[in-house]
Amino acid sequence: MTAALEVLPVPGLPEIEAGADLGALIAKAVDLLPGDVLVVTSKIVSKAEGRLLRTEDKDAVVAAETVRVVARRGKTRIVQNRQGLVMAAAGVDASNTAPGTLLLLPLDPDASARAIRARVRELTGRQVGVLITDTFGRPWRNGLTDVAIGAAGVAVLEDHRGRVDSHGNELALTVTATADELAAAADLVKGKASGIPVAVVRGLPGAVTEEDGDGIRRLIRPVEDDMFRLGTSEALRAAVTLRRTVREFSDQPVHGPAVRRAVAAAVTAPAPHHTTPWRFVLLETAEARTRLLDAMLGAWRRDLRDLDGWDEARIARRTARGDVLRRAPYLVVPCLVTEGAHAYPDARRAAAEREMFTVSVGAAVQNLMVALTGEGYGTAWVSSTMFCREVVREALELPADWDPMGAVAVGRPVEPPADRPERDPEPFVLTR
């Protein structure tokens, strides 16, 4: 690649209408050289492809173009649209179009770029690259910039990994979004209100490829690598929805600091009388988990043998339900501590007081499990420790006033949870 670049506006294009031959209009408006990159604003592509709607109901149109809401604040919606792009308002635009109309993005911007490239080559014999662009906001940064939403014949990414810098350091992470850099450079001469929708970037022949390529697919971060896939409230709702009982865990170890972050969320739960009635015992070693579970199993077997009709086979079936705890690489035992509880002389109010504290522990455990889901872990809250509290306290050497409230198995799920239909809240609501 050369060190010098030219970014040239392409003036003189007419107002674009449905059915316009963009490739021919651009080829007529500018003398192209082999290796040039044509940067075309998506709005004129949308107009040429008839992606204009006569309506003022932008909210309805945005909803129709949305696949997934990423974040919402007031009237602003960041969404993933039909093209797989994450952007404001699904790319639906009321600017640079007549009042009472809205422009949608091209149905397939990569296909649009390929069509323009093929038409230019047919008419001029020049091998050029083509980018279709649109305006995006960016996380953590103010201001808008143009990025590529469609590409043909352009190496959209340049991978520097494995190369060495001027100091001899091997580059391990650097992958440059060449297509987006070209889009932003071209926008400096196109502008937002200049009426110039096309620019040529000249001087980067190495960026232009012989084949059309895969378009912008490689620019879109895969879901599994996207740490910021949802906004804050959306991520919380997603974690609540995804949180469900997991019974099969992989052998991957659980990251202790992640559990402590979840405990930090747990202890924000509401509690009576400004108390802190929760304690969390973290069983991080296999030895501690085995000691607890063996002690509990012995207690369960002794109790069940005292019941009529319980033979060894039936006892084995019943106690096998606790195997989910043995299969988990990490256990959390939440405990109730009632210090700060009010003392009542009558049983009714004393029982209600304890229930208040018990409810608070339930809220804390829910917070814990939702936070762990956000960290990518699965959980199963099993109640078995509540049936042999003295045994648990002895096995874990807990204070006498710590009441074990079940055990939470934690680990990476072997399989992602199956989709679950959204539950209608109305059957559970009574209005007065």
pLDDT tens, position by position, for the chain (432 residues)?
A: 446 899 999 999 999 999 999 999 999 999 999 999 999 999 999 999 999 999 989 999 999 999 988 888 778 888 889 888 998 999 998 887 888 899 999 999 999 999 999 999 999 999 999 999 999 988 888 999 999 999 999 999 887 666 666 767 766 667 889 999 999 999 999 976 678 999 999 998 889 999 999 999 989 888 777 777 777 666 666 666 667 788 899 999 999 999 999 999 999 999 999 999 999 999 999 999 999 999 999 988 888 888 888 888 888 888 888 889 999 999 999 999 999 999 999 999 999 999 999 999 999 999 999 889 888 899 999 998 999 999 999 999 999 999 999 999 999 999 877 777 878 989 999 999
232-428 carries CATH number 3.40.50.2000: no
d(CA 209, CA 212): 7
**CB neighbourhood size of 164 (10 A):** 10
Question: What six digits make up the tokens of 271?
Answer: 């509690």
- Residues 298 and 290 sit within 8 Å (Cβ to Cβ): no
Closest CA to 110 of 185, 203, 220: 220
Contact between residue 8 and residue 188 where contact means Cβ atoms under 8 Å apart? no
Strand positions, DSSP E, 220-326: 278-283
- C-alpha 175/C-alpha 152 separation (Å) is 19
Q: What is the pLDDT of residue 233?
A: 67
Beta bridge partners of 7: 201
Considering the segment(s) 6-51+106-225 as one domain, its CATH architecture is 2-Layer Sandwich (3.30)
Distance in angstroms (rounded) separating the CA atoms of residues 60 and 345: 61
**Residues whose CB is less than 8 angstroms from the CB of residue 382 and which lie 6 or more positions away in sequence, other chains included:** 321, 322, 324, 325, 406, 407, 408, 409
Q: What is the rounded CA–CA span in Å between residue 406 and residue 245?
A: 14
| Whole-angstrom distance, CA of residue 331 vs CA of residue 288 | 9
Contact 406, 385 (CB under 8 A): yes
Spatial neighbors of 16 by CB under 8 A, at least 6 apart, are 22, 25, 44, 47, 48, 197
Query: What is the side-by-side strand order in the sheet with 86-88?
Result: 66-73, 76-81, 86-88
Q: How far apart are CA 428 and CA 156, in angstroms?
A: 51
CB neighbour list of residue 110: distance below 8 Å, 6 or more residues apart: 132, 150, 151, 152, 214, 215, 216, 217
For position 171, what pLDDT does the model report?
A: 61
The amino acid at residue 118 is A
- DSSP conformation class of 222: P
DSSP letter assigned to residue 30: S
Q: Structure tokens of 268? A: 């924000």
pLDDT of residue 3: 60
Q: Where are the alpha helices (DSSP H) in 57-194?
A: 58-65, 109-124, 178-190
Note whether 232 and 139 are within 8 A (CB). no
Q: Could you tell me the residue ranges of all domains in the chain? A: 6-51+106-225, 232-428
- For helices 286-305 and 312-319, give the axis angle rounded to 10 degrees: 140
pLDDT value at residue 167? 66
- Token duo for residue 140: 């953590």
